[in-house]
Amino acid sequence: MTPRRYLGALLSSAEFAQAYALTALAATFASFAIQRLTSTVTLVAGISLLAVVGLGILWVRRAELTLLRFAPSSLLAFLALALLSALWTTDTGDTLNGWIALLGYTVIAITIGHVRDTLQTVRAIGDTLRWLLVLSLGLELLSGVLLDMPFPFLGIQGNLAGGGPIQGIFGTRNMLGFVAVIALITFVIEWRSRSVTRGVGVASIALAGMLALLSSSPSVVVLAAGVGVATAALSIVRHAPPERRALAQWALGALVTVGLLTAFALRHQIIRVLDAGSDFSTRADLWNQLLEFIAERPVLGWGWFGRWPADEFPFVYVNILLEDTHRSALNAYFDVLLQLGWVGLVLFLVLGGVALVRSWLVVSVRRSVVYAWTPLVLVTLAIESMFESFTLAGAGWLLLVLCALRAGQTRSWREDLDAAQTETMPTLPPQE
């Protein structure tokens, strides 16, 4: 066998696809620790290599792919707008760097989405987060209990003995809380689908729940409540008779709308209950300041940067006015609005919203609980985006793209177009 054929056989093998998914997910979720233990150059080189390998995998598997199903059109439109923003940005170099980073994680997510099915994806994320959370707990025990000293190079403050907050290997308590909630969803799906033994499932759920609590992140309470409501709603819809399912969907939609309006009306009381007054005050001051800059370029924004550059306008000026060192808008929607304007925000909302609707409709008619993972993760991303900008970079963006791709593979206008070309009726795959 020639080296070229050997490489092709390797890249197209199921074993390599599994190894690639695990490696890419580990590198993405552990990016903060990798950057702190090595350097930014090492992290960029690693993600770039994974993206290149992903392109190689997609190339050797090109016969299995179709252009229409390759990626959601809303995702491609968002990427195109972010690239075009280099024409009006305040710094073309930083914009191109930010766009390349966005593209790298996009390629990785698309590769995983095409070489792993839903259950395999859940298992890969579950295995990755299980080890990363165990590592986080171990380092927190070492820092906060055994040695009683912080690990500044990892951002670990050693507060475990006092009940938190802890950060693990994820840099901040909010990021640990976000990852713990994603892990909790994944572990429950693994357990319910019998993908892991009962002992492993229960231990994993307990680990994720404990770290979520120890993170002391105010957003964890809101995430848990949102995911709990979404889970209950999915259960109601899945158990409703087919002839009443549409009515149940509309009724739940009305209840959610009323709940959101009520939560907004009682926002001050909720903030006091969560003891998040200082966090919210910081965010409110930041968002009010951002509105002034958004008003100057409301349609297309200031250009795509992703994570805020430390010395680039308007971000540096925002920090000067607030006497702070923010590296994001602490809200993904405000960040998109600032950087890509209303056009970008609409595309971002369409990307996540359409994916949520598609995945929700799929899980409402499927018996297998594994299909609940996609809408529940999308709900988590939507809620977390109100408090942080995690969804626009790294693990958050990878999850968004992966979920959008997964949702579009089963319910899409592309099915009708494929059906017209092949003269077959589009149907959902057999229920599992």
pLDDT at position 247: 72
Own/partner contacts of 146-151, CB < 8 Å, gap of 24 or more, are none
pLDDT of 422 > 80? The answer is no
Q: What angle do CA 56, 61, 63 make, to 5 degrees?
A: 135
Global confidence as pTM: 0.89
**120-153: burial string, b at 16+ Cβ within 10 Å, e else:** bbbbbbbbbbbebbeebbebbebbbeeeeeebee
* Percent of the chain whose predicted confidence (pLDDT) is above 90: 43
Model pLDDT, residue 11:
83
Q: Is 272 helix (H, G, I), strand (E, B) or coil?
A: helix
Report the chain's terminal Cα–Cα distance, integer Å. 39
Q: What confidence score (pLDDT) does residue 349 get?
A: 93
SS3 content of the chain, % helix, strand, coil (to 5): 75, 0, 25
Whether the predicted pLDDT of 426 surpasses 50: no
Other C-beta atoms closer than 10 Å to the C-beta of 62 total: 11
Least confident segment among 20-24, 151-155, 197-201, 365-369: 365-369
- Give the tens place of pLDDT for each residue, 42-76: 999 999 999 999 999 999 888 887 777 788 899 99
Both tokens of residue 382? 């939507």
- The neighbouring-strand residues paired with 151 are 156
Domain boundaries, the chain: 1-65, 73-115+259-432
Q: What is the mean pLDDT of residues 187-213?
A: 91
Mean pLDDT for the stretch of residues 414-427: 43
Residue 218, pLDDT > 70, answer yes
* 349: exposed, middle or buried (Cβ count in 10 Å: 0-12, 13-18, 19+): middle
* Closest to 303 in 3D by CA, of 311, 292, 295, 314: 314
Give pLDDT, residue 411. 56
Question: In the numeric block, which tokens belong to residue 271?
Answer: 């903030």
- Closest C-alpha among 135, 227, 136, 235 to residue 186: 227
**407: confidence class by pLDDT, cuts 50, 70, 90:** confident
Q: Which two tokens stand for residue 378?
A: 């999308």
Lowest mean pLDDT among 116-125, 260-269, 333-342: 260-269
pLDDT at 351 over 90: yes
* Whether the predicted pLDDT of 418 surpasses 50: no
Q: What is the mean pLDDT of residues 263-282?
A: 60
Instruction: Tell me what pLDDT residue 347 has.
Output: 95
What is 74-91 written as a DSSP string?
HHHHHHHHHHHGGGT-S-
Question: pLDDT band at residue 417, thresholds of 50, 70 and 90?
Answer: very low
